[in-house]
Structure 1
């Protein structure tokens, strides 16, 4: 192998190695991405409880540490002042299972009793999601999905 070819090969390996390191560094800093978020609300009926089921896909190369979910009525203090990550501290966790490369499908299910339904404001509700990656980055979507309480 000529010296010129050998130098070209070495330069190519160094360039590819540097690009790979840059890609890994970028992947380590990425925030979680939410996709395909849906909410399904079923009101209690007779002696049967209702439910709220929320599902979302979370993708982040570093992996997901936790996903918290909070349903909130459109006409509330959160609508006035804005929902923050600090407000999500007491939110309930979703259950997440791997669903693809760097992606988990997270499901949150809450039982809705007759008493819950009676005391809940009627109208539009939103579902907020706070996803935390293993690298410490977070994503907050205050209106990831909507549903209506009638």
Structure 2
């Protein structure tokens, strides 16, 4: 084998190795990903409270720090002015448990009383979610899931 071919192969290995290291470093800096989100609304009936339950899977290579959840009616001011991370700062967090690898399964449940249901707008609602990783990256989905209040 000629010396030129050996040098070309060695250079190619160094370039590919460097590209692989860059890809791994870049992958570690990605914001959290949110998947498989679903909302389930159960209206109160008689003397029994209803509930809103939101579930989602969040993946972050550095780990998940917190997942904030906000249900909002489609005809609210948020429909015209988009929800921001600042809007999500004071909302409640979901409870998350590891579900394999870098992924956690998060569940947010809130009771809905008859009074709550009576004063809530009817129609379409959305669920916003703000996922924050341990390294500080975040992902905001303003319409992670939908449900209907009849």
TM over 0.5: yes
Structure-2-length-normalised TM-score: 0.87
Cα contact 1:58–1:106 (8 A) shared by 2: yes
**How much has 1:28 moved relative to structure 2?**
2.4
Cα contact 1:27–1:62 (8 A) shared by 2: no
- Residue 114 of structure 1: aligned partner: 114
Give the superposed CA RMSD.
2.1
Gaps of 5+ in 2: 1-6
| Distance in 2 of aligned mates of 1:49 and 1:119 | 14
| Distance in 2 of aligned mates of 1:19 and 1:58 | 27
Q: Does 1:135 align with 2:119?
A: no
1:24-51 C-alpha deviation (Å, 9 max, x unpaired)? 3213210111111000000000000000
Structure-1-length-normalised TM-score: 0.87
1:81-105 C-alpha deviation (Å, 9 max, x unpaired)? 1111110011110011111111111
- Residue 28 of structure 1: aligned partner: 28
> Where does structure 1 differ by over 6 angstroms across 4 or more consecutive aligned residues?
7-13
1:5-31 C-alpha deviation (Å, 9 max, x unpaired)? xx8998788567634532332132101
For this pair of structures, how many residues does the alignment match?
A: 148
The 5-angstrom pairing of residues 79-118 of structure 1 reads: 79-118=79-118
